[in-house]
Amino acid sequence: MTQKNKRRTAWFFLFFAFCSAWAFSADTQSDAAISLYDLSSKIGGELFWDPLSGIARMVKDGHTADLRVGSPLVIYDYGRAERLDSPALVGGIPSVTVSFSKRIEDFFTSLPPPSSYKVGAILIDPGHGGKDPGAIGTASIGGKAVQIREKDVVLKVATALSEALRVAYPDKKVLMTRSGDTYPSLEDRVELANGVKTGPNEAILYVSIHANSAFNKSSSGFEVWYLSPDYRRTVIDKTEGDAADLLPILNSMMEEEFTTESILIAKSISDSLNATIGNKSPNRGIKEESWFVVRNAKMPSVLIELGFVSNPAEAKLLADDEYLKKCATGIYNGLVTFINHFEGSRGFTAAQ
């Protein structure tokens, strides 16, 4: 859970404590209705309630039920919708009928335990390849000028990274968008990413690896990018009909969820790259962007720029296989940190 959500939760609990006390003394209509606050306590979940929009979200172990006062629809896990009696405000508190409450309880109690969340697949994407060399630079090695191509650098790092991940996680799918000097188009990469099959509580991580280039030959350093929160993907396509008016809200919530995970991966990788190559290449930090591959991959995703082939000193580093292994180790450590965090906590809402 994010800090923001914690604060929000604390605030709502205070709000509800106040409202419950008030409603108990001032309202006798609540006999036939169950407040969402009580229902949430009963299932051991959390309630987020926005009195302005009338939208309530119940959350437990990363699963959600979204509903709105006056609307008969409940949406489970951003996808499946069910039509029940519309929730109403009783003494200012969002409340539901007994049968409604039973359905919500059934949903949350039929879920698998939170420990079943895991990373099912890691998709490593070495940028460019084949006819597309990516950025090109020149390194002076043993007095000779050697051409350094981004496509070769990133393939070496991606290969070493994949090998390490396969050893560490024999139970996870570790895939590469290319394993040789071939050119999968951006669309091919996205299609591959979205076509990876995982179990119902499994997430896929998407890690794209690149090297940088700049007109200014003194530019140097590595950076890790994640998807801009401003970009709103339509990740919910299963919900139809009356639920359409809720989609923009659900979409933005889903986006926030993916972004949070992507920022966490980006931060982990940036920190651990800093530990392995930070003494050779400056850390340019984590950045946000709505680049193509991530934008269309429905999963938490990051893009790593390992350094500048346009900088003669960095080109020399990127020509060194030992240095590239350190890059791979840095990314590997960052992913392991993230996976430990992810699998040790609630996981995030499955969006398949």
When computed from its CA atoms, the radius of gyration of the chain, rounded to whole angstroms, is: 24
Q: Which is nearer to Zn ion, 39 or 153 (CB)?
A: 153
Q: Which is nearer to Zn ion, 68 or 149 (CB)?
A: 149
Judge whether 145 and 312 are in contact, CB under 8 Å: no
Among 134, 184, 221, 300, binds Zn ion (CB under 5 A): 134
Task: By CB under 5 A, tell whether 62 contacts Zn ion.
Answer: no
Task: By CB under 5 A, tell whether 330 contacts Zn ion.
Answer: no
Q: Which is nearer to Zn ion, 212 or 259 (CB)?
A: 212
**Residues 242, 294: Cα–Cα separation, whole Å:** 30
**Residues 156, 328: Cα–Cα separation, whole Å:** 9
**Residues 160, 8: Cα–Cα separation, whole Å:** 42
Residues 210-269 that bind Zn ion (CB under 5 A): 210
**Quick one: tokens of 113?**
């335990």
Task: By CB under 5 A, tell whether 127 contacts Zn ion.
Answer: yes
Segment near Zn ion (CB under 5 A), from 23-31, 123-131, 188-196, 255-263? 123-131
Judge whether 284 and 266 are in contact, CB under 8 Å: no
**Quick one: tokens of 174?**
């570790």
Task: By CB under 5 A, tell whether 189 contacts Zn ion.
Answer: no
Q: Which is nearer to Zn ion, 178 or 210 (CB)?
A: 210
Segment near Zn ion (CB under 5 A), from 93-101, 206-214, 254-262, 327-335? 206-214
Segment near Zn ion (CB under 5 A), from 1-9, 65-73, 126-134, 155-163? 126-134
- Taking CB atoms, the residue at the shortest distance from Zn ion is 210
Q: Which is nearer to Zn ion, 188 or 245 (CB)?
A: 188
CA angle 232, 234, 237 (to 5 degrees): 160
By C-alpha distance, which of 32, 38, 104, 28 is closest to 66?
Answer: 104
Q: Which is nearer to Zn ion, 210 or 298 (CB)?
A: 210
Q: Which is nearer to Zn ion, 127 or 347 (CB)?
A: 127
Looking at the chain, which runs of residues are DSSP E strands? 33-35, 46-50, 55-60, 63-68, 73-76, 80-83, 88-90, 93-97, 118-126, 136-141, 144-149, 173-176, 202-212, 222-227, 283-289, 301-308
Q: How far is the CB of 128 from Zn ion (least distance, A)?
A: 6
Q: Which is nearer to Zn ion, 172 or 210 (CB)?
A: 210
**Quick one: tokens of 260?**
């949070």
Segment near Zn ion (CB under 5 A), from 81-89, 94-102, 132-140, 229-237? 132-140
Judge whether 228 and 288 are in contact, CB under 8 Å: yes
Task: By CB under 5 A, tell whether 63 contacts Zn ion.
Answer: no
- Give the contacts of 87 (CB within 8 A, at least 6 positions apart): 36, 56, 67, 68, 69, 70, 71, 94, 95, 96, 100
- Interface mask (CB under 5 A) for Zn ion, residues 289-328, using x and -? ----------------------------------------
Segment near Zn ion (CB under 5 A), from 49-57, 133-141, 246-254, 272-280? 133-141
Q: Which is nearer to Zn ion, 63 or 210 (CB)?
A: 210
Segment near Zn ion (CB under 5 A), from 51-59, 181-189, 203-211, 277-285? 203-211
Burial 278-313, CB ≥16 within 10 A → b, else e? bebbbbbebebeebebbebbbbbbbbbbbbbbbbbb
Provide the binding-site residues for Zn ion, judged by CB under 5 A.
127, 134, 210
